[in-house]
């Protein structure tokens, strides 16, 4: 028997049936439900439905939660009278709206969709202008398309219309396209329709039509560090986003693009002088544009994170964090924040969002005592709804101690693997965002992504049950007297497959973690001391980075960064340049921590194992130690 493929995505730093529904006016439906009613079926109800039996009473559900339960399966559309309209790839949102508007019957992972009284084109946004023509929706989408074209031509001056004979020799003519989106409210009612003109940048030639296509974004760690400083100093935290950011960047050479379908300009082409969505260099150009503007306002990017900008004014520091077109403005003076926003409004047009409430999908709550809590409650609720665990019984820990998983009996189908990966990916965003308590279990379960079995799904379900009971947990930053400090730990030989150790560390500032990691070490450790020393070396890299970042932000760490460990042997190796029999195997690069200690940039200290908060990143713990370590990482309940 061949060895199953193993995933190595272990660095962090029930197949329930779905739906629905409604009824159809056709005589083929197996049961009657009022038109346009959205219902959720249990697995038993679904099985009965497949067998053409009337299921037990199904519970009505809101369309928003249904969005997360419907898979993007291949469906065959059958109209009234049994006419087959052809296969359509239907997305989550399409299915939700289709259910609400059409009263259709959708069977999970089947190829049946019984139409009530509408055509699929009513609910699925056109993929291109050809879809608009085929569905006869020129009147519906023609207006938004012309509005977009006129805006880019006259307001943003992105391009000019020229004769096709003016295309220079050697230049390629890029195809153009449309992205259509229907905006709906929480009830599924249409509130607006938007069309966005895009270029097909896949045809661009590297080195000819563009040079660079890289654009940086701010790191999560940097955002948490800024929030920690804001909480410690009582700073204001505001946010804004730039309208149609990519349209403001100027191209270094003209590009040429076809007039999009639906505009009706035969014999004409477009000469682009500014960037447009879809170009390979669009992100790079916009980043250079906004960087230039922020510098002109007196803000300078830090070396530690070039998407964090700082300006010193009247003895105080002000900061801007940049993530594409989203800006987070932090500082003591609202007048300075308004000055920046006024300048950006004049240059680009922006949305002023006021005091920050969401940063990249992360909720921001300010307490009456000045504390700031970052959480992902809404995001996690969506995960529970998607995997049908909204009503699950809560668990006290994400993984029971003593649980050991392997690749035995791992015979997942491609569909099983896809859904397992979806679960891991969803949980990982929380684990790297605001939930260090999930870092170990997500890292551990990610190792089995290529070949998950029933026991791995059981472990995923347990994590979801834990999330159900801890939705309100968030990282709470507050004013404290303790400078940046860290904790490092390792679990020797924890991986039964590779015999590699599991290591973890965290750094605390303003009462909560701003950086953490849980991962398997890159090689087999020969002893507990060896495993702990490797973890110290990894952690020291983050310690230096964070120390330099804080110094650039005007909040230097007073003295060396204190890094706690609970293994005396590894601490001795870090403090003394010994080269005896027991440490000859340690690679030169792994002595990084020793050099940093010698340079007095890091100070390693012993701490008792019971107080080693990084233990939460190396193994599954029981409720008492787990909650103790979780609390000391700054994870607390709803802020008041």
Q: pLDDT tens, 361-376?
A: 899 999 999 999 999 9
Residues 6+ apart with CB under 8 A from 172: 203, 204, 205, 209, 256
Question: What 3-state DSSP class applies to 147?
Answer: helix
Domain termination site, one of 96, 122, 148: 122
Whether residue 60 sits in one domain with residue 92: yes
**Coil, helix or strand at residue 638:** coil
Q: Are residues 498 and 547 in the same domain?
A: yes
pLDDT score for 377: 93
At a CB cut-off of 8 Å and minimum separation 6, what does 22 contact?
33, 34, 35, 36, 37, 38, 39, 99, 102, 103, 104, 105, 116
Residue 28 DSSP one-character state: T
What is the mean pLDDT of the segment spanning 469-474?
96
Tell me if 26 is assigned to some domain. Answer: no
Q: Do 458 and 493 belong together in one domain?
A: no
CA dist 377 and 358 (Å) reads: 11
Task: Answer yes or no: are the C-beta atoms of 423 and 415 closer than 8 Å.
Answer: no
Residue 529: the pLDDT is: 86
Do 464 and 500 fall within a single domain? no
Q: Has residue 618 been placed in a domain?
A: no
- Lowest mean pLDDT across 99-113, 379-393, 473-487: 99-113
CA neighbor of 141 nearest in space, from 196, 85, 91, 99: 196
Decide if 505 is inside a domain.
yes
494: pLDDT strictly greater than 90: no
125: left (phi over 0), alpha (psi -120 to 50) or beta: beta
Q: Which among 438, 442, 441 is positioned nearest to 470, based on CA atoms? A: 438
Lowest pLDDT segment from 161-170, 552-561, 574-583: 574-583
Residues 430, 548 within the same domain: no
Please state, as a whole number, how many other Cβ atoms lie within 10 Å of the Cβ of residue 539: 30
pLDDT computed for residue 577 by the predictor: 67
Q: Kindly state whether residue 346 falls inside one of the protein's structural domains.
A: no
Cβ contact 298:203 at 8 Å: no
Residue with tokens 């709804």: 385
203 is written with which tokens?
């045809």
Residues 601 and 506 both lie in one domain: yes
In a domain, 582, yes or no: yes
* Most confident stretch, 150-164, 381-395, 490-504: 150-164
| pLDDT tens, position by position, 14-54 | 322 223 222 333 333 322 222 323 334 444 544 444 444 43
Average pLDDT over residues 408-415: 72
Tokens coding 450: 């290529």
Q: Would you state the pLDDT for residue 355?
A: 95
Counted domains in the chain: 3
The residue among 200 and 104 whose pLDDT is bigger is 200
pLDDT given for residue 100 in this prediction? 35
The pLDDT, as a whole number, for residue 499 is 83
d(CA 197, CA 224): 36
Assess contact for 325 and 351: CB atoms under 8 A: no
- Dig out the tokens for 146 from the structure: 């012309």
- Judge contact between 445 and 463, C-beta under 8 A: yes
The answer to whether residues 490 and 464 belong to one domain is no
Residues 542 and 492 in one domain: yes
pLDDT level of residue 187 (50, 70, 90 thresholds): low
Q: Please identify, among 469, 496, 529, the residue that sits at the C-terminal boundary of a domain.
A: 469
Domain assignment present for residue 96? The answer is: yes
Residue 65: pLDDT over 90: no
Confidence check: pLDDT of 197 > 60: yes
Q: How many whole angstroms separate alpha carbon 144 and alpha carbon 146?
A: 6
Highest mean pLDDT among 129-143, 405-419, 474-488, 587-601: 474-488
Average pLDDT, integer, range 462-472:
96
Judge whether residue 383 has pLDDT over 70.
yes
Name the maximum alpha-carbon separation found in the chain. 85
Which residues have CB under 8 Å from 28's CB, separation 6+? 114
Residue 49 CA, chain-centre distance (Å), reads: 36
Partner residues linked to 508 by β-bridges: 485, 513
Q: Of 405, 437, 469, which marks where a domain is finished? A: 469
**DSSP string over 548-601:** HHHHHTT---SSSEEEEES-HHHHHHHHS----GGGTTS-GGGGHHHHHHHTTS
Count of beta carbons in the 10 Å neighbourhood of residue 202? 9
Alpha carbon 16 to chain centroid distance? 24
- Mean pLDDT: which of 379-388, 457-466, 520-529 is highest? 457-466
CATH number, position 513 = 3.30.420.10
**Both 504 and 437 in a single domain?**
no
Per-residue pLDDT for 400 more than 60?
yes
Q: For 265-268, which contacts have Cβ atoms below 8 Å and span 24 or more sequence positions?
A: 265/161, 267/163, 267/164, 268/161, 268/162, 268/163, 268/164
- Radius of gyration of the CA atoms of the chain, in A: 28
CA distance 423 to 448: 12
* Mean pLDDT of all residues belonging to the chain: 81
Does pLDDT of 56 surpass 70?
no
Domain span at residue 461 reads 383-469
Percentage of the residues of the chain whose pLDDT score is greater than 90: 59
Q: What is the pLDDT of residues 573-615, one digit of tens each?
A: 888 766 554 455 555 556 778 888 888 999 999 999 999 999 9
* Structure-token pair, residue 364: 């921001």
Task: Evaluate whether residue 461 is within a structural domain.
Answer: yes
What is the model's pLDDT at position 587? Answer: 54
313 burial via Cβ count (<10 Å: 0-12, 13-18, 19+): middle
Determine the Cα angle at 332 with ends 331 and 337, to 5°.
55
Q: What is the mean pLDDT of residues 181-205?
A: 84
Greater pLDDT, 328 or 111:
328
Q: Which of these, 21, 196, 225, 13, lies nearest to 116 by C-alpha position?
A: 21
- What pLDDT score was predicted for residue 528? 85
pLDDT at 420 over 60: yes
pLDDT at 521: 84
- Read off the pLDDT band of 339 (50, 70, 90): very high
* Cα–Cα distance, 561 to 604 (Å, whole number): 8
With a cut of 50, say whether residue 6 has pLDDT above it: no
104, 54: one domain? yes
> Would residue 332 count as lying in a domain?
no
Predicted confidence at residue 226, as pLDDT, reads 97
Q: Report percent pLDDT > 70 for the chain.
A: 77
List pLDDT tens digits, range 100-143. 333 333 333 332 233 223 333 334 688 899 988 987 889 999 99
**Other beta carbons less than 10 A from residue 584's beta carbon:** 7
Do 498 and 423 fall within a single domain? no
Do residues 602 and 489 share a domain?
yes
Q: What is the pLDDT of residue 82?
A: 31
* Pairwise CA distance, residues 536 & 230, whole Å: 29
What is the band of 94 on the pLDDT scale with cuts at 50, 70, 90?
A: very low
Give CA–CA dist 71/301, Å, rounded: 43
């Amino acid at each position: 028997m061949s060895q199953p493929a193993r995933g190595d995505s272990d660095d962090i730093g029930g197949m329930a049936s779905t739906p629905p529904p409604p009824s159809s006016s056709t005589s083929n439906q197996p049961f009657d439900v009022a038109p346009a009613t959205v219902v959720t079926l249990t697995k038993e109800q679904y099985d009965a439905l497949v067998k053409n039996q009337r299921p037990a009473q199904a519970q009505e559900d809101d369309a928003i939660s249904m969005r997360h339960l419907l898979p993007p399966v291949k469906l065959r559309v059958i109209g009234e009278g049994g006419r087959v309209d052809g296969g359509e790839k239907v997305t989550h949102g399409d299915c939700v709206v289709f259910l609400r508007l059409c009263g259709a019957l959708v069977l999970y992972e089947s190829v049946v969709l019984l139409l009530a009284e509408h055509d699929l084109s009513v609910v699925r946004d056109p993929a291109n202008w050809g879809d608009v023509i085929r569905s006869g929706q020129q009147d519906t989408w023609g207006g938004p398309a012309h509005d977009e074209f006129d805006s880019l031509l006259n307001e943003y001056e992105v391009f000019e219309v020229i004769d096709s004979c003016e295309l220079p020799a050697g230049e390629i003519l890029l195809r153009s396209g449309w992205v259509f989106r229907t905006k709906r409210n929480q009830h599924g009612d249409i509130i607006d329709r938007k069309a966005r003109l895009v270029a097909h940048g896949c045809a661009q030639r590297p080195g000819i039509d563009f040079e660079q296509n890289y654009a940086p974004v701010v790191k999560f760690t940097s955002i948490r560090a800024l929030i920690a400083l804001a909480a410690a100093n009582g700073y204001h935290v505001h946010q804004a986003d730039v309208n149609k950011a990519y349209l403001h960047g100027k191209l270094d050479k003209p590009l040429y693009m076809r007039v999009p379908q639906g505009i009706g300009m035969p014999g004409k082409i477009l000469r682009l002088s500014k960037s447009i969505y879809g170009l390979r260099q669009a992100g790079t150009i916009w980043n250079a544009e906004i960087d230039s503007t922020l510098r002109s306002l007196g803000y300078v990017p830090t070396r530690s994170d070039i998407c964090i900008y700082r300006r010193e004014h009247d003895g105080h520091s002000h900061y801007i964090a940049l993530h594409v077109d989203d800006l987070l403005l932090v500082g003591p003076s609202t007048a300075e924040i308004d000055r920046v926003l006024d300048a950006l409004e004049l240059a680009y047009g922006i949305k002023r969002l006021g005091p920050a409430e969401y940063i990249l999908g992360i909720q921001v709550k300010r307490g009456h005592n000045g504390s700031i809590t970052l959480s992902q409650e809404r995001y996690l609720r969506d995960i529970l709804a998607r995997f049908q665990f909204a009503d699950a019984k809560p668990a006290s820990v994400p993984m029971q101690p003593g649980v050991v998983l392997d690749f035995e009996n791992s015979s997942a189908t491609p569909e099983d693997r896809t859904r397992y990966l979806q679960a891991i990916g969803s949980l990982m965003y929380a684990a790297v965002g605001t939930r260090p308590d999930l870092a170990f279990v997500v890292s551990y379960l990610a190792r089995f992504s290529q070949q998950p079995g029933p026991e791995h799904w059981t472990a995923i379900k347990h994590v979801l049950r834990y999330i159900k009971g801890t939705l309100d947990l968030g990282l709470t930053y507050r004013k404290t007297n303790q400078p940046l400090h860290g904790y490092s730990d390792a679990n020797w030989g924890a991986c039964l497959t590779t015999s590699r150790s599991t290591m973890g560390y965290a750094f605390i500032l303003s009462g909560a973690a701003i950086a953490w990691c849980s991962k398997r070490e890159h090689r087999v450790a020969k002893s507990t001391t060896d495993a702990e020393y490797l973890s110290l070396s990894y952690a020291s890299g983050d310690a230096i980075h964070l120390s330099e970042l804080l110094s650039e932000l005007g909040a230097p760490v007073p003295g060396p960064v204190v890094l706690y460990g609970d293994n005396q042997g590894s601490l001795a190796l870090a403090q003394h340049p010994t080269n005896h029999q027991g440490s000859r195997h340690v690679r030169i690069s792994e002595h990084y921590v020793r050099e940093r200690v010698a340079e007095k940039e890091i100070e390693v200290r012993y701490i008792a194992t019971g107080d080693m908060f990084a233990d939460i990143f190396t193994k599954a713990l029981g409720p008492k130690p787990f909650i103790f370590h979780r609390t000391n990482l700054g994870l607390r309940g709803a802020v008041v």
